[in-house]
Structure formats: structure tokens, C-alpha cells
Amino acid sequence: MADLLVNKGVSIFDILRILALLIPSLLSFIVPTSTLAAIVLVFGSLAQNNELTAMKASGVQLFSVMLPVLLTTLLMSFALLVVSDQIESEAQYAARRAAKELVFKRPTAYLEAGKVVKDFQDFLIITQRIEGNKLYGVTIYQPQEDGKATRTIIADSGEVITSKDQKTLQIKLYDGSADEPNPVDPSMFYKMNFRTFELPTLYLGKDDPRNKIEKKMRELRFDEIIYRLRSDPKVRNNPDERREHQAALHKKISFSFAPLVFAIIGLPAAVISRRGEPVLSFSLAMGIVAIYYCLYVFGGTMVAESHWNPFLAMWLPNLFMVGAGAYLMKRALAR
């Protein structure tokens, strides 16, 4: 983002707009993690200073101290569920549309010198140097269908031109050559030198940008996923597609209950560890978070590769953490 702002001349308002749209997607990670860190820090400190022992000596049960935290994290989980469904999904979709609009407003911001750009339909583009909308040392590959040899275009320079309606891009090349297939024998190529060569209209991605941008899986709301599962023949009749949609649905729901799950395991872990130092508390919290997210990655992999039941795979982290938390809770209450 800093490179786009400083070196590519992208408006700071465009940058701030995209950053604002990315915030909701971060809440799913920030809220559970910060909640766990706070719980471990506070209750670890209470245990270390024997304040929980003093409460028990005064007739206050440990579980009654934990109960408000559990109820609060339950409410937080339901709030995250709403955010994940109604806000995060739409914000991610809007961020992708804003990023695509940025490409057509400042196309060279999307190009980076020395790197292969694969996002333009039918073409792979490499540019050695970029100055404004001018390109220098341009190499373009156009893969062919049916296993035919790739067409290669090399030019000393070029320029990127955006249409007036900012819907399409064109690249005009100067002083170069192109390997063209022989019309009689496509397996053979001949070299064509040119002073000026204009590529066909470029579209970002696979679809015409004048059409509506389709949502990706993570950008679908609950009702949209359920509708596809029930009414879309492509999803209903394709086991892989159906399993992918079911996994996405269960992941959204189970992931939203991470604050409650972290509270269930974090509370007894903090009491048993009896360490309230910030560094140790933070390390304990990050260890729990790492295990939790690794289980999510494992579950997603099992759905994709081993045809696991989506419900079991996506709820596995919660079930594991709740089971471990119940065991630790029993030990903590017995102390």
C-alpha cells in the first residue's frame, strides 16, 4: 500500500478506502486473539497474586468468577457471527471491486518492474522498467490452446492506455518483434518485426470487467451459500463443489465462536499456569491460537484432499479446544 501511494501515485483516498474495507475481515482474527490474551493476562495475574485463593476463602466460587467472562464471550461470538455474515462478506467483495477499479484508474500501479503479471486475460506480462504509463523492456507471453507453442512478443518500449469509460486497458508496443504461428503449419513460427503493435483489449481476470464481478467463496453470505446448495445445479450435482460450499458455511459459523472457545480453554489455563507476566501470558495465548488455526488449516486440507465431512473438519478446532478446556476446567476447579 505504501508503494502504491509513494511510488505509483495512487490517491491516498483510494488507499484508505481499501484499507477500511479490509478491517472487518481482520476482526475475525483480532477479536478472539485479543480476548484470549486479556483473559490469560488477567486471570494469570489473579492466580499468581493468590487473589483467586482469597476469593475462595471468602466463599466465592471460582466458576462464579469465570461465568461473566463466559457469558460476555458468548455475546461476542454472536456479534462476530453477524459481522462475518453481513459485514465482512460484503466488505471483502467491495474491497476487491475497489482494487479492480484502481487498476483501470492507474493501470501501471498494477504492473511491477521485473515481475510476471498473470492477471490479464490471455497474457503474461514482464516489464523491466516503468515510468508513468510508459513501459520499457517489455516481454509478453500468450499461451495457446491445445498445447500449441506459446506466442512471444518482445518490445523496446510501450505504453498503457485506459479507455475513456475506464472499463478496459490497451497496451501499445514500439520497436519489437513477435513470434507468429505459421497459418499453414501452426507448430512452426516465424518472426515478425514491427515499429508499432497494439495488443487486443485487455481484461483483468477471466471475465469482461463490464460484467458484474462474481463473488468468491469467502465473499458469500450464509443465505447465498445455502441458496447455491439448494438451488444451483452446478453445486448440487458436483460433490466437490457441494463439499466446498458446506465447508465454507461451517467455517464461517464455527470461526465466529472462537472468542467463547478461547475463553473456555484460556480461563483454566491461566489459573493453572499462575503466571501473570505480560510476556508469558502473551506466549501462552499465542500458543493456543497457533494450535487453533493449525487445526483449521488441517481441517480445510482434509475436506479438499481426503473428502472429510465438512461439518466435522470445520468444527474440529472448536471441539478439540472445548474438550481440552473442559479437562483443564475440571482441574482448575478442583484446586
Residue of 291 and 160 predicted with greater confidence: 291
**Low-confidence winner among 61-70, 147-156, 289-298 (lowest mean pLDDT):** 147-156
- Asked whether residue 164 falls in the same domain as residue 117, the answer is yes
Mean pLDDT of 52-75: 90
Whole-angstrom distance, CA of residue 37 vs CA of residue 259: 11
Determine the Cα–Cα distance for residues 31 and 314; give it in Å rounded to an integer. Answer: 19
Identify whether 16 is part of a domain: no
Taking only the tens place, the pLDDT of each residue in 167-200 is 567 788 999 888 877 767 766 777 888 899 888 7
Q: Are residues 223 and 325 in the same domain?
A: yes
Phi, psi of 158 (to 5 degrees): -170, 175
Domain shared by 229 and 329, yes or no: yes
> How many other C-beta atoms lie within 10 A of the C-beta of residue 323?
12
Do residues 325 and 277 both lie within one domain?
A: yes
Residue 210 lies inside a defined structural domain of this protein: no
Range from 8-12, 146-150, 308-312 that averages highest in pLDDT: 308-312
Report the C-alpha dihedral over residues 204, 208, 214, 216, rounded to 10 degrees: -30
Same-domain status, 67 and 115: no
Those residues whose C-beta lies under 8 Å from the C-beta of residue 73, and which sit 6 or more positions away, are 35, 259, 260, 262, 263
Residues 82 and 222 in one domain: yes
Output b/e per residue, 225-255; b: 16+ Cβ within 10 A.
Answer: beebeeeeeebeeeeeebbbbbbbbbbbbbb
In a domain, 284, yes or no: yes
**Are residues 116 and 193 both part of a single domain?**
yes
Give which of 265, 243, 254, 240 is closest to 326, Cα–Cα: 265
With respect to residue 95, please indicate whether it lies within any of the assigned structural domains.
no
Could you count the other beta carbons within 10 Å of the beta carbon of residue 59? Answer: 6
Whether residues 235 and 309 fall in one domain: yes
Out of 198, 233, 256, a domain closes at 198
Task: Give the residue from 165, 198, 231 where a domain finishes.
Answer: 198
Backbone angles phi, psi at 167, to 5 degrees: -110, -25
The mean pLDDT of the chain is 83
Here the cell at position 280 is 508469558
- The domain tally of the chain equals 2
Q: Is residue 101 part of a domain?
A: no
In a domain, 142, yes or no: yes
**pLDDT digit string (tens) for 13-23?**
877 888 888 88
Q: What is the pLDDT of residues 120-175, one digit of tens each?
A: 667 888 888 887 778 889 888 887 776 666 788 899 998 887 766 555 677 889 99
- Residue 12 reports pLDDT greater than 70: yes
Q: Are residues 138 and 238 in the same domain?
A: no
Report, in angstroms and rounded to the nearest whole number, the Rg of the chain calculated over CA atoms.
27
Q: Is residue 130 situated within a structural domain?
A: yes
- Binned at pLDDT 50, 70 and 90, residue 274 comes out as confident
In a domain, 274, yes or no: yes
Domain assignment of residue 274, given as a range: 27-89+218-334
Q: What is the pLDDT of residue 108?
A: 59
Rounded Cα gap, residues 71 and 321, in angstroms = 17
Burial, 284: exposed, middle or buried (Cβ in 10 Å; 0-12, 13-18, 19+)? buried
- Grid coordinates of 139: 516481454
Average pLDDT of the segment spanning 47-70: 88
Q: Are residues 243 and 303 in the same domain?
A: yes
Q: What is the pLDDT of residue 204?
A: 56
Residue 176 near residue 146, CB atoms below 8 Å: no
Q: Average pLDDT for residues 83-95, to the nearest whole number?
A: 87
The answer to whether residues 224 and 181 belong to one domain is no
Q: Mark which of 140, 164, 198 sits at the end of a domain.
A: 198
- Are 49 and 81 contained in the same domain? yes
**What pLDDT is stored for residue 206 in this prediction?**
46
